[in-house]
């Protein structure tokens, strides 16, 4: 088994990465940055997002494992003091492969179409003022949006930015996209539904710029600012992110531990 580590870059994560390399070498695991089968992220959820985007072109060939250095993360289920056990599990056991849906986006610009994948979400915001956009669902006008922005999240991203906007928490076995509004303005010209909307796997949403405006597109933790985005189309991606699970990590337990169990009690 070939593995690679992406760490957060802080002293603790770097030290844990070194420790993992030593333990892995003792047990015959090979380090391979170019063609890994397991990508280990050491840090937090943000580090997993970074790891995903580093290996996005090999996404069908790799599985992810998350180690957290602080609080339990949504994508990071191993604790810093469990590295020995993780290495032992990686050498002695076959993992269960758990696949989560991704969101796919096509961005139309004068230079052509660009494609991106997100694990958590895409957001579209206005840079100089409110975002003004027409929203079509399955090629039919749905609403005219004016407000701070729009967040389109995956099921596993539903507990991130989407949740802060009052969106629903969606189990990752439900292949869907959730559209949530950021501070929409409602009047006679601009009218939005006001609640978040869940689209099934075979639907798509287009967000079309309705004025000359600079837009900020975020893809998970990445920012792209452009004045020439004409429209974006989002749908559930055909590819998925795969997690190698060496022990159970049920989604609803993570939701409870992250949002309901204060100090783990
Ligand atoms: P960051 O350092 O600002 O961390 C954001 C927080 O979101 C961290 O606590 C992280 O653990 C948590 N998080 C990330 N993915 C999660 C998930 N799937 N479920 C529950 N919590 C999750 O930024 P970062 O580490 O670079 O992460 C980028 C993410 O931050 C974005 O994908 C977005 O979801 C989130 N974000 C949230 C808000 C908000 O809630 N108001 C605003 C901007 C970005």
Indicate the SS3 state at residue 95.
coil
Beta strands in 127-170 (DSSP E): 131-137, 140-153
Pairing of strands 231-245, 204-209: antiparallel
Each of the 265 residues of the chain gets a pLDDT tens digit; together they read 899 999 999 999 999 999 999 999 999 999 999 999 999 999 999 999 999 999 999 999 999 999 999 887 899 999 999 999 999 999 999 999 999 999 999 999 888 999 999 999 999 999 999 999 999 999 999 999 999 999 999 999 999 999 999 999 999 999 999 999 999 999 988 889 999 999 999 999 999 999 889 999 999 999 998 888 989 999 999 999 999 999 998 999 999 989 998 665 5
CATH for the 102-238 domain, from 3.90.1170.50, 2.60.200.30, 3.30.497.10, 3.40.50.11540: 2.60.200.30
Task: Write down the pTM of the prediction.
Answer: 0.95
Would residue 228 show up in a list of annotated catalytic residues for this protein?
no
Phi-psi region of 152 (alpha: psi -120 to 50; beta: other; left: phi over 0): beta
Query: Which residues form the pocket of ligand 1, taking CB atoms under 6 Å from any ligand atom?
Result: 44-46, 49, 73-74, 120-121, 156-157, 159-161, 164, 220-221
> Atom of ligand 1 at shortest distance to CA of 50?
26
Could you name the CATH architecture of 2-95+246-259? 3-Layer(aba) Sandwich (3.40)
DSSP symbol at 84: H
Task: Determine the Cα–Cα distance for residues 62 and 99; give it in Å rounded to an integer.
Answer: 11
Contact 66, 48 (CB under 8 A): yes
CA-to-CA distance for 215 and 125, rounded, in angstroms?
Answer: 6
């Amino acid at each position: 088994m070939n593995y690679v580590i992406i760490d957060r870059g802080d002293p603790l994560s770097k030290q844990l990465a070194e420790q993992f390399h030593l333990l892995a070498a003792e047990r015959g695991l090979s380090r391979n940055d170019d063609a890994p089968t397991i990508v280990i992220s050491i840090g937090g959820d943000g580090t997993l997002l970074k790891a995903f985007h580093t290996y996005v072109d090999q996404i069908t060939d790799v599985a992810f494992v998350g180690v957290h250095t602080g609080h339990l993360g949504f994508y990071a289920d191993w604790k810093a003091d469990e590295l020995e056990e993780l290495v032992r599990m990686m050498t002695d056991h076959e993992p269960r492969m758990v696949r989560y849906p991704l969101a796919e986006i096509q961005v139309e610009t004068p230079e052509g179409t660009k494609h991106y994948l997100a694990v958590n979400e895409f957001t579209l915001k206005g840079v100089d003022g409110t975002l003004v956009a027409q929203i079509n669902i399955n090629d039919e006008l749905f609403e005219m949006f004016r407000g701070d922005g729009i967040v389109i999240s995956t099921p596993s991203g539903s507990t991130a930015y989407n949740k802060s906007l009052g969106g629903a928490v969606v189990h990752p076995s439900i292949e869907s996209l959730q559209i949530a509004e950021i501070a929409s303005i409602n009047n006679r010209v601009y009218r939005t539904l006001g609640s978040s909307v869940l689209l099934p796997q075979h639907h798509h949403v287009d967000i079309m710029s309705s004025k000359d405006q600079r837009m900020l597109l975020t893809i998970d933790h990445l920012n792209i600012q452009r004045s020439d985005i004409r429209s974006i189309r989002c749908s559930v991606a055909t590819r998925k992110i795969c997690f190698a699970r060496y022990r159970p990590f049920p989604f609803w337990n993570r939701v409870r531990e992250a949002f309901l169990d204060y100090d783990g009690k």
